[in-house]
Amino acid sequence: MLAPERRTRADIISAVAIAVLVLLAGVVVWLRSDTRGTESITAAAPVPAPIAAEQLPTQLHELWYAPDAVSARAITAGGVVVTGDNGTVTGRDPRTGAQLWKYQRNMPLCGIESQYGTVVAVYRDRRGCSQTTLLTADSGTRRTARSSYMDSSVRLSADGTYFLAQGQRRLEMWRSDLVRTVEYGFVDAPVNAKTQPRAGCTLLSASSSPSRLAVLERCPDDPANRLTVLKPVPKDSTTPEEYGSHVLTGPGMASADAKVIAVSDSRIVLYSPGVTGQAPPRLTVYDGNGNPIVLHDLSAPLSQDTTTTQVGSTYLVFTGDSVIALNGSTFDPLWTSGAALGAPALMAGKLLLPTAGAMTVLDPATGAELGRIPVDRPGYTGGAISLAVLGDTVLELRDGAMHALG
């Protein structure tokens, strides 16, 4: 019979040392983990969506306001108003502004966007705006997340099917579950570098529809900007598939101020600033492969605050001081409304247009003015206003804050 093993003093010291090392490693991992720097407070119960307003208000007064320095537009999702400030995304009661849920990380927010009842929050770490979280809008519950190399700043947008995150060197499109469908531009993985059609390009502007992704870029060997039209869902997300790619010709097509204005399933419209004394600023309509179809001259250049909002089948372009309505099929101009402070929003079947001291009521089909609702905006500095409507509450994103009117 073998004698039983005996524990020596050295065995005990070694075991204690190993346990201490394991504990220290666990503490270090926890201290450096994303979990330690994340706070998630969900709603007590899912927030119901309010009933849409059946008639316009006769007057509007401010109900509440909250800081929102991150959002590019006024965001509502489900039954909540969504604001972003510092590293915190907050879902708020539209009538009171009270916090219904909160998601916070110890990282700066690059941006937030929303569609189909979810909210996407993108945070910046050492790899750029790479940390993305998907939240359920009516409760703030975390659904999924993704991480990938991105630029240090990105522009987020949504087309009703996909999310688009565009930086200066790289862009990605994501499905509703944040699975990437396409990457374009700079690739950090050397094995994938040759899958891109061009290298070293600056991505000036991009927009998408469920079947087209239009990218306006400037590449080192090109004499002017290039319009590239891509499939949102190629066979391999690392290998873009093009419908067409063309170096643009004409006055203003080499300008960094050129921009993709809108994209449908069969048309793309670009803005070019023109050249003083030679050609006016204009909108150029292209087909789904990037071939030019028609030009529309503008009376003045578009501002840096230009945004496009789709209401029904109409695209509404805020130029900086007016709104141009474009036909959703052809992108031909339908009507123009002046003295605008931002893009309009639909309420009770009419368009509300932010104007000086009021909300001007417009007919969506003709742009005819139907009335004015007085609005007081104390402290307003004159920047672009982004408008949204949730139930009978009107939301204005202006001067880095969300203002609720009712």
pLDDT digits (tens, 9 = 90+) for 346-387: 999 999 999 999 999 999 999 999 999 999 999 999 999 999
The answer as to whether 11 is a domain residue is no
pLDDT in tens, the chain (406 residues): 555 555 566 656 665 666 656 555 444 444 454 555 899 999 999 999 999 999 999 999 999 999 999 999 999 999 999 999 999 999 999 999 999 999 999 999 999 999 999 999 999 999 999 999 999 999 999 999 999 999 999 999 999 999 999 999 999 999 999 999 999 999 987 666 689 999 999 999 999 999 999 999 999 999 999 999 999 999 999 999 999 999 999 899 999 999 999 999 999 999 999 888 789 999 999 999 999 999 999 999 999 999 999 999 999 999 999 999 999 999 999 999 999 999 999 999 999 999 999 999 999 999 999 999 999 999 999 999 999 999 999 999 999 999 999 9
Contacts of 68 (CB under 8 A, 6+ apart): 83, 84, 85, 397, 400, 401, 402
Phi, psi (rounded to 5 degrees) for 13: -60, -40
Looking at residue 9, its pLDDT comes to: 65
Looking at residue 18, its pLDDT comes to: 67
The answer as to whether 29 is a domain residue is no
Q: Residue 209: left (phi > 0), alpha (psi -120 to 50), or beta?
A: beta
d(CA 63, CA 65): 7
- Which amino acid is present at 253? M
163 in Cβ contact with 207 (< 8 Å): no
The answer as to whether 20 is a domain residue is no
Looking at residue 194, its pLDDT comes to: 82
Looking at residue 276, its pLDDT comes to: 82
H/E stretch holding 16 reads helix 9-32
Among the listed residues 167, 73, 62, the one whose alpha carbon sits nearest the alpha carbon of residue 112: 73
The answer as to whether 14 is a domain residue is no
The helix/strand/coil state of 316 is strand
The answer as to whether 357 is a domain residue is yes
Q: Is the dihedral of CA 297, 300, 305, 310 positive or negative?
A: negative
d(CA 396, CA 303): 20
DSSP one-letter string for 326-371? EETTT--EEEEEES-SB--EEETTEEEEEETTEEEEE-TTT--EEE
pTM recorded for the entire structure: 0.89
366 in Cβ contact with 335 (< 8 Å): yes
The answer as to whether 267 is a domain residue is yes
Residue carrying the six token digits 């390009």: 201
Residue carrying the six token digits 């945070």: 123
Contacts of 162 (CB under 8 A, 6+ apart): 173, 174, 175, 181, 208, 210, 232
340 in Cβ contact with 321 (< 8 Å): yes
Question: What is the domain range of residue 314?
Answer: 56-405
Looking at residue 154, its pLDDT comes to: 98
Say how many C-beta atoms besides its own lie within 10 A of residue 21's C-beta: 10
Domain CATH number, residue 136: 2.130.10.10
The answer as to whether 255 is a domain residue is yes
Cα 241 from chain centroid (whole Å): 23
Q: How many CA atoms lie within 13 A of 206 on its CB side?
A: 32
Total count of domains within the chain:
1
| Residues composing the chain | 406
Contacts of 404 (CB under 8 A, 6+ apart): 62, 63, 64, 65, 81, 94, 95, 97, 393, 394, 395
Looking at residue 189, its pLDDT comes to: 75
Among the listed residues 299, 184, 169, 296, the one whose alpha carbon sits nearest the alpha carbon of residue 233: 184
Q: Residue 230: left (phi > 0), alpha (psi -120 to 50), or beta?
A: beta
Task: Extract the tokens encoding 405.
Answer: 């009117």
Looking at residue 278, its pLDDT comes to: 85
121 in Cβ contact with 89 (< 8 Å): yes
The answer as to whether 43 is a domain residue is no
Looking at residue 27, its pLDDT comes to: 43
Among the listed residues 156, 146, 142, 150, the one whose alpha carbon sits nearest the alpha carbon of residue 75: 156
Q: How many CA atoms lie within 13 A of 316 on its CB side?
A: 26
